[in-house]
Amino acid sequence: MDMLFLLDKTVIAFIAFAITLLIATYSTYAERKIAAFMQDRVGPDRAGPFGILQPLADAGKFFFKEEIIPNASDKFLFIAGPGIAMLTALMTSVVIPWGDTLNIAGREISLQVSDLNIGVLYIFGVVSLGVYGIMIGGWASNNKFALLGAIRASSQMISYELSMGLALIALIMMTGTLSLKEIVDQQHGMNWNIFYQPFGFLLFVVCAFAECNRTPFDLPECETELVGGYHTEYSSMKLGFFMFAEYINMFISSAFMASLYFGGYNFPFMDSLGLDQNIITIIGVFVFFLKIFAFIFLFMWIRWTLPRFRYDQLMRLGWQYMIPLALIHLFATGAVLLWADK
């Protein structure tokens, strides 16, 4: 029985990693197509029908490009930086509940690699570690522009993690658990947390943009000021790893927000359809991915709509507005919960 359980988890982990990498790969295609649509262009249309093979062509280009390691760089750390960024990005997918349980041959199979009772804290901690990859890569390059980009990334993440954490604490006070599976199960049907915590969600989504270094918070790789930012000296697969890590973080952030605030794999009228539990579970997985794709589209829509902040504006927003608003929201949530208990 233990071997079957281990086999189940290994297969689910492999599928989760494969889907994460596939969606990260095709997010680059989606980004270019959405940018083209908003700028009244065609976008990629040469590699395969409708340019559908463009991400594979880009991956091949990264793979076969010449590896350049600057003479003055710290070679070990220069190679380790992108590896750490990629590893931490991939580690987060193990606690995401991709669906409910499937009943196969009398055995219950959970569509989650690991239901940690501290799943929210785990994602928060591992995503925070991702900045080490950026900081190490920027410092090891021995390039002032790369170092400036790395310092910007670390200070930006520290600034916005505080308000993100406060928004999460308000949600955890309401749900009473740190397990992502339990949080999703509490939102059964249409009982989604977005209806109870709309302001907390707004705070969280702004912080998610800052954590993923996405426009208007893409100051660490600000091309107009810092050449290429923290990955100025990188080429070939190491540059590909940094870019891949950004898209994986965007995908995981979307899955995290869908799980916390939009019910995860739950959807309206799921109990009144009268279908088999396995079919409901499979529909739930598709619904969950639709929610994730909607968030990914939001990330891309904002990138091609808004200009980036100046660095002083970014810091002022984080410290003078986001943190006080998150604290007020936390106290308000606590007051409402105390009043509701009476």
pLDDT tens digits along 200-226: 999 999 999 988 887 788 776 666 666
> For residue 123, is pLDDT > 80?
yes
> For residue 139, is pLDDT > 90?
no
> For residue 118, is pLDDT > 80?
yes
pLDDT at 122: 92
CA separation for the pair 91, 123 (Å, rounded) = 9
SS3 for 217-255, per residue? CCHHHCHHHHCCHHHCCCCHHHHHHHHHHHHHHHHHHHH
* Residue 315 neighbours by CB under 8 Å, 6+ apart: 155, 159
> For residue 145, is pLDDT > 80?
yes
Q: For the stretch 122-142, what's the b/e string if a residue is b when 16 or more beta carbons lie within 10 angstroms of its beta carbon? A: bbbebbbebbebbbbbbbbbe
Which of 78, 26, 27 is closest to 235 using CA atoms?
Answer: 78
Answer yes or no: are the C-beta atoms of 51 and 43 closer than 8 Å: yes
CA separation for the pair 127, 163 (Å, rounded) = 15
Mean pLDDT of the chain: 86
pLDDT at 320: 92
CA separation for the pair 58, 240 (Å, rounded) = 9
Note the Cα 9 to chain centre separation in Å.
Answer: 22
pLDDT one-digit tens code per residue, 42-86? 888 888 888 888 888 888 888 888 888 878 778 888 888 888 888
Answer yes or no: are the C-beta atoms of 214 and 250 closer than 8 Å: yes
Which of 103, 105, 113, 16 is closest to 280 using CA atoms?
Answer: 103
pLDDT category, 254, cuts 50, 70, 90? very high
Q: State the average pLDDT over residues 131-140.
A: 87
> For residue 170, is pLDDT > 90?
yes
pLDDT one-digit tens code per residue, 306-335? 888 888 888 899 899 999 999 999 999 999
> For residue 259, is pLDDT > 90?
yes
pLDDT at 201: 94
